[in-house]
Chain A
Amino acid sequence: GAVVSQHPSWVICKSGTSVKIECRSLDFQATTMFWYRQFPKQSLMLMATSNEGSKATYEQGVEKDKFLINHASLTLSTLTVTSAHPEDSSFYICSGQGTDNYGYTFGSGTRLTVV
């Protein structure tokens, strides 16, 4: 079945540094990639939607200059957390959808800890 590979699985970084998270669709073309954030004991919250070749659409309250999303190809989308702060520590997960509407395929998530 469709697989989205997300890396890294976990990362610890210093406050003020930037972290890049990659999501690759391995056997399908993800025309749309969604990025979610999940704080402990809370539901997934959508951060942004990206369509291949277009600028991402950010949800209200999500800083686009802080969370840079690139979806340059149908198989790769990246989320860069710039100038990370401890409050950015969270679980980030991507999900991709191809042209066939078989539901969403999720990455395995990235646990970001900013110290």
Chain B
Amino acid sequence: AQRVTQPEKLLSVFKGAPVELKCNYSYSGSPELFWYVQYSRQRLQLLLRHISRESIKGFTADLNKGETSFHLKKPFAQEEDSAMYYCDLNSGNTPLVFGKGTRLSVIA
């Protein structure tokens, strides 16, 4: 069965500190992994997907198949990064397999 685990419900960091939001997955095939962000009172937005290997708003995420992880990282956190972040595994035309989300709080 497909599963995504985000072990931290809440992560608080100081402004300027590095951020790492953890995501581990279980899937037998080749997954497509995404990170979504939900800012307060806004819709969910796609933040990045692993196959694009791009950096969005300073965030990057590398797929580590050996560790079955897709951690989201940013070297220097900013206050506007405070939001809810969801890791998602997509194996094709199947429902989203969301992690339970991690709320990032960046403290000034």
Contact = CB atoms under 8 A, between A and B. Distances in A.
Interface stretch (A19-27, A41-49, A60-68, A74-82): A41-49
Given A43-B86, A103-B90, A108 B96 contact: no
A70 interface: no
Contacts of B32: 101
- Which range contains the number of B residues in contact with the other chain? 10 to 19
Given A106-B43, A109-B43, A46 B86 contact: no
Nearest to B6: A43
A109 B32 CA distance: 24
B96 A46 contact: yes
Contacts of B99: 43
Contact of B86 (A44, A97, A101, A108): A44
A107 B45 CA distance: 10
* Range, interface on chain A: 10 to 19
22 contacts: A31-B93, A34-B95, A34-B96, A36-B96, A43-B86, A43-B101, A44-B86, A44-B96, A46-B96, A93-B43, A93-B44, A95-B96, A97-B93, A101-B32, A101-B90, A101-B92, A103-B34, A103-B46, A103-B49, A103-B90, A108-B43, A109-B43
Interface of B: 32, 34, 43-46, 49, 86, 90, 92-93, 95-96, 98-101
Interface of A: 31-32, 34, 36, 42-44, 46, 49, 93, 95, 97, 101, 103-104, 106-109
